[in-house]
Homo-oligomer: A and B are copies of this chain.
Amino acid sequence: MKKIITISREFGSGGRELGKKLAEKMNFKFYDKEKLSFLIQKYGYDARYIDSIDKIGNDDFPFRIGNSFMLYSVHQKQATELLVLEQKLIKELASKNNCVFVGRGADLILKEFDPLNIFVFADDASKIERCKQNARENENLTDKQILKQIKNIDKSRQKHYLLLGSDSWGQRENYDVCLNASRFEIDDLVSVVEGLANEFFQGE
């Protein structure tokens, strides 16, 4: 069985960055919404393509990956039609390599793979600050507007989780660890989570 880590996260908490750096450090494949969408759009879902997909490195994706609200809303429109394909793809990828999946309800989809499930969250001030740091040049939102966007995106994540059959996105019982990133640097959390993952997978 491959080693699988799933990271769910509040928007702006730094969970995605944590997942990406963790994957790099542990030499795991990294998949998030943008990568999965890209794979499906480019190839469709076809098992014949999984091997070629598999050879794509973590940094070979041509589009900007970041905290942009615009990027998110474009992809959001495609969410429903991608759902079934995405689930199949996630399982297929998880069966081939050690992976870190960020978002997409991978913790639910991959239950049979016995993944290490992580939830990353942060307080509002930290999330607003992170969004500002990652904002595009033309994104001149007030703190209140940013917070509203954050809440809306997290609501849509809850809805996505609902579509997958669970109403408990973000509830600690679903995860092996919930990390509050407010008082940590993401880089520091990477080594902590790596330690946790090593303990978790040590028997395998």
Contact = CB atoms under 8 A, between A and B. Distances in A.
A46 interface: no
A126 B180 CA distance: 24
Given A192-B192, A196-B192, A199-B192, A175 B183 contact: no
A75 B189 CA distance: 38
Contacts of A177: 177-180
A200 B123 CA distance: 16
A191 B195 contact: yes
Q: How many copies does the complex hold?
A: 2
Q: What's the interface size class on A, roughly?
A: 20 to 34
Nearest to A185: B199
Given A177-B179, A178-B178, A192-B192, A199 B184 contact: yes
B172 A176 contact: no
B176 A180 contact: yes
Contact of A188 (B121, B191, B199): B199
A200 B184 contact: yes
Contacts of A121: 172-173
A177 B184 CA distance: 11
Interface string A37-77: 00000000000000000000000000000000000000000
A123 B172 CA distance: 11
